[in-house]
Structure 1
Amino acid sequence: MTLPPSAPDARATARTYELDRRHVFHSWSAQAELDPMVITRAEGCYVWDGEGNRLLDFSSQLVNTNIGHQHPYVVEAIAHQARTLATVAPQHANDQRSQAARLICERAPGDLDRVFFTNGGADANEHAVRMARLTTGRPKVLSRYRSYHGGTQTAINLTGDPRRWPNDNGDSGVVHFFGPYLYRSHFDAETEAEECRRALAHLEQVIELEGPQTVAAILLEAVPGTAGIMLPPPGYLAGVRELCDKYGIVFIVDEVMTGFGRTGAWFVCDDEGVVPDLLTFAKGVNSGYVPLGGVVLGDRIADHFAHRPYPGGLTYSGHPLACAAAAAAITVMERDGIIDNARRIGTEVIGPELARLAREHPSVGEVRGRGVFWAVELVTDRNTRQPVAPSGGSSPVMAEAVRTAKKLGLLPFTNSNRIHLVPPCTITESEAREGLRILDEVLDRVDTLVQGTREDSDRWNLRTP
């Protein structure tokens, strides 16, 4: 049921903003340069700002509101659990944690049938790496450039984008390698098959040069998310699985962003027919209504700790409010065909429309994605593939693209030179087309700016990463 719009309270909005700027320390930001938008309410695929403007949420906030905002079934599940058992220590069994674990394991690939619950994706990856190191007795972990695995100490060092640099002392036991990315191939490939083959050969060479006996795990995002939504070519994940088997390495797949419907499947690795040793999740498991993440384990890892303690834990592991939200969200996804909807919208609406926009707008270098997980890569020149913003940074063109989108009623997700289209999995065809119509207008503006700034790229110090 759609709630009636209410007039914004200008004084309350101003007070919210004032207190935020006075007392809140924001992540990934220079504090004095921030101008955060006040959000007052949300419903379905829309949010309202402090001035009463309705925005179509094509960001899913941080790519996590898979079932949309304020889903009544999940909100009621949280409220009911709060009235029944608001919190409990993790050493005790409780019905919501047991139920959530069962539902997750039933949808996980292969023999992954135990869940270690965390508070989010970063600590899920931290614990997965700890499990791999303890199981193998090896120190090193390999992860790819152009990746993001979280902001905690191990997770940020595993990350392969520029956010790692200020936190990386080179002593974390992490080794980075190049993953497949045909549009900006590191392997001079011209086809997906070539890119896959050469990327796997490169990874095997890194393993051999690092010493296979020193490598505990390879950690990969199933589809790198904030780094660019770069779909792995067919056979790549299976090829990494084979290399892990060959050298006794634990294969960890990070599905924090892709899991629970984002790509039109429960999990990408299952869709690809690949079973990792450990699978990490968060975000979409309960659409972020209450913080939750976890590691799904198979027998190889679980058996190692059958008769020896696992040296790790969290006060809020399997928190009943978060698990109640997860159980309700998974039930809704299944009952309402939300994952099938995400796949259909991607195949029938977003994919074809983005292909059309790519043909019509010279500033679009490439579009790529699946389900409700897409990226539009913006360039100043299609031939040179010069990005309109540097890796890990922004530019006047990207700032104007965001400003224009918001003015027209669209809340986008952007990173570097890309606009990501990542609406809730519940989005309707008409809502998707509304967002794409706005994007068309945004790209008109970007085209105009790019035409006028090609000669100024040196002034902006833009370089193809």
Structure 2
Amino acid sequence: MTTEISDITSDQIAQGRRAHELDREHVFHSWQAQGPFNPMTVLKTEGSYVWDGEGNKLIDLSSQLVNTNVGHQHPKVVAAIVEQAGKIATIAPQHVNDARSEAARLIASHTPGDLDKIFFTNGGADAVEHAVRMARLHTGKHKVLSAYRSYHGGTHLAVNITGDPRRFASDAGADGIVHFFPAYPYRSYFGAATEAEETERALKHLEDLIILEGAGNIAALILESIPGTAGIYVPPAGYMAGVRELTRKYGIVYIADEVMAGFGRSGEWFAVNHWDITPDLLTFAKGVNSGYVPLGGVAISQEIFETFRERVYPGGLTYSGHPLACAAAVATIKAMEDEDLVANAKRLGDEIIGPRLAQFKADHPSVGDVRGTGVFWAIELVVNRETREPLAAYGGSSPEMNQVIAAARAAGLLPFANFNRLHVVPAMNIPDEVLIEALDKLEQALLVADGFVK
């Protein structure tokens, strides 16, 4: 291990080992086979660092689940939670509280177009569920279109809307979901040789599907503006505008899923801003308060809001607009504004991450593709650049990929990996020198990946 040992005490390490024992005895983990799982204990977090159960200091290149956008333990956000707990720790959602009102105002000040009404949820999955419910009630239709290679959440409807293998175990094909092929130039489903061809063919496929499914039956189309865990594949030029035009043409509610890409991660407040698009509904979570307290929501257009002006919306949550979560959101958004973190995310991508990943691609035969924007990037690992055979099969991992991840950890990184990809998704305020060090360490893992190239 080349990790750095911090001032973590022996008592903290002992407490961590006890916590691990209790975890293995009592905690049921998500997305895991419970028996062989050996989770990492975290003893401390600060800025862009975490300390594992043995006191090793790791650079957090994952932002956990791509949500700690302002880093760990941001003092302004922590102070806001403490202050709010001293005033109103919790309150039922039917009552006004200043934290929720101010959070809604701040969110609406950054959403595109007329998305000025905010419905708060506990996270991204239930934001998606409520957005779809709103679209269905607004249109009186039922079907929902969603892309393959997407992720929209783990609750029942959201995971069926999801377009990757995580939905398979729960997909009974009975929830009105129809999947379509996305624009994905590196692994084109349309035999496209150029991005222009990819855009044209992907949009024709989508329009054909709308016609064949019956536009009169389709309530909504949901699309991650930049897909996150599905691969951070940035849509080619013209695609997003074309999708938006098709939804208008056929009277379909367009839901932008910004749960992962939103709140500055892409170098814009919301990723749809890259294409100057205004959806009808926009879902958010994660970065809205850097994940410090669970919070998500739906930003709602005026037209859809009018549907429920005199009509009861049949949905709600006990913790909708929870004051601790909203206080964290207010502090996070203000910190992002005061510290100009959205512009900083763009700068980090343009000046450090993008050029370095391009160099990775030039120097390492295991790197098939690199793509991204802001602090939202993916490295796609392959065993053969010509055939683009992935280092791990779609929907799974491999012994080779596990060795690459282990090498990153041994170098002193906490990486984010999915299938055959390593994601470079640091906090928006990671210091330049720490990011450069992290990329140096990541390159050590790429040397391991190069050893599997055929």
Same fold, TM-score > 0.5, yes or no = yes
Equivalent residues in 2 for 1:46-195, closer than 5 Å: 46-195=49-198
Equivalent residues in 2 for 1:400-415, closer than 5 Å: 400-415=403-418
Q: Quote the residue 1:282 is aligned against.
A: 285
Which 4+ runs in 1 deviate beyond 4 A?
A: none
CA–CA distance in structure 2, aligned partners of residues 370 and 283 of structure 1 = 18
Aligned match of 1:348 in 345, 348, 351?
351
In the TM superposition, what is the alpha-carbon distance from 1:6 to its structure 2 partner? 2.6
- CA distances 1:71-117 after superposition (whole Å, capped 9, x unpaired): 00000000000000000110011101000000000100001100000
Q: Quote the residue 1:462 is aligned against.
A: none
CA–CA distance in structure 2, aligned partners of residues 66 and 148 of structure 1 = 19
Instruction: Verify: 1:323 aligned to 2:326, yes or no.
Output: yes
CA–CA distance in structure 2, aligned partners of residues 6 and 419 of structure 1 = 29
Q: Quote the residue 1:229 is aligned against.
A: 232
Gap regions ≥5 residues in structure 2: 1-5
In the TM superposition, what is the alpha-carbon distance from 1:267 to its structure 2 partner? 0.3
Q: Quote the residue 2:246 is aligned against.
A: 243
Distance 1:8 1:297, change over 3 A: farther
CA–CA distance in structure 1, aligned partners of residues 59 and 8 of structure 2 = 17
Distance 1:8 1:265, change over 3 A: farther
Q: Quote the residue 2:8 is aligned against.
A: 6
Q: Quote the residue 2:270 is aligned against.
A: 267
Aligned residue type for 1:338: L
Q: Is the 8 A contact 1:67 1:426 kept in 2?
A: yes
Distance 1:8 1:234, change over 3 A: farther
Q: Is the 8 A contact 1:8 1:50 kept in 2?
A: no
Aligned residue type for 1:318: G
Q: Is the 8 A contact 1:341 1:425 kept in 2?
A: yes
Figure out how many residues of one structure are paired with residues of the other and give that number: 448
Q: Quote the residue 2:30 is aligned against.
A: 27
Q: Is the 8 A contact 1:8 1:51 kept in 2?
A: no
CA–CA distance in structure 1, aligned partners of residues 33 and 272 of structure 2 = 37
Q: Quote the residue 1:386 is aligned against.
A: 389
Equivalent residues in 2 for 1:303-322, closer than 5 Å: 303-322=306-325
Alpha-carbon RMSD across the aligned residues, in angstroms, is 0.8
Q: Quote the residue 1:460 is aligned against.
A: none
In the TM superposition, what is the alpha-carbon distance from 1:190 to its structure 2 partner? 1.3
Aligned match of 1:433 in 426, 436, 440?
436
Structure 1-normalised TM-score?
Answer: 0.95
CA–CA distance in structure 2, aligned partners of residues 8 and 73 of structure 1 = 30
**Local SS of the residue matching 2:119:** strand
Q: Quote the residue 1:463 is aligned against.
A: none
Gap regions ≥5 residues in structure 1: 455-465
In the TM superposition, what is the alpha-carbon distance from 1:274 to its structure 2 partner? 0.2
CA–CA distance in structure 2, aligned partners of residues 56 and 101 of structure 1 = 33
Equivalent residues in 2 for 1:442-457, closer than 5 Å: 442-448=445-451, 450-451=452-453, 454=454
- CA distances 1:356-415 after superposition (whole Å, capped 9, x unpaired): 011100000000000000000000000000001011211011111111111110010000
CA–CA distance in structure 1, aligned partners of residues 93 and 10 of structure 2 = 41
Equivalent residues in 2 for 1:200-239, closer than 5 Å: 200-239=203-242
- CA distances 1:423-456 after superposition (whole Å, capped 9, x unpaired): 11111211111111011111111111x14xx4xx
CA–CA distance in structure 1, aligned partners of residues 10 and 382 of structure 2 = 38
Instruction: Verify: 1:197 aligned to 2:200, yes or no.
Output: yes
In the TM superposition, what is the alpha-carbon distance from 1:12 to its structure 2 partner? 1.4
**Local SS of the residue matching 2:220:** strand
In the TM superposition, what is the alpha-carbon distance from 1:28 to its structure 2 partner? 0.5
- CA distances 1:44-94 after superposition (whole Å, capped 9, x unpaired): 000000111000000000000000000000000000000000001100111
CA–CA distance in structure 2, aligned partners of residues 83 and 402 of structure 1 = 42
**Local SS of the residue matching 2:283:** strand
Instruction: Verify: 1:294 aligned to 2:297, yes or no.
Output: yes
- CA distances 1:327-360 after superposition (whole Å, capped 9, x unpaired): 0000000000111111000000000000001110
CA–CA distance in structure 2, aligned partners of residues 397 and 411 of structure 1 = 18
In the TM superposition, what is the alpha-carbon distance from 1:8 to its structure 2 partner? 4.1
CA–CA distance in structure 2, aligned partners of residues 142 and 100 of structure 1 = 30
Aligned residue type for 2:18: R
Q: Is the 8 A contact 1:108 1:270 kept in 2?
A: no
**Local SS of the residue matching 1:31:** coil
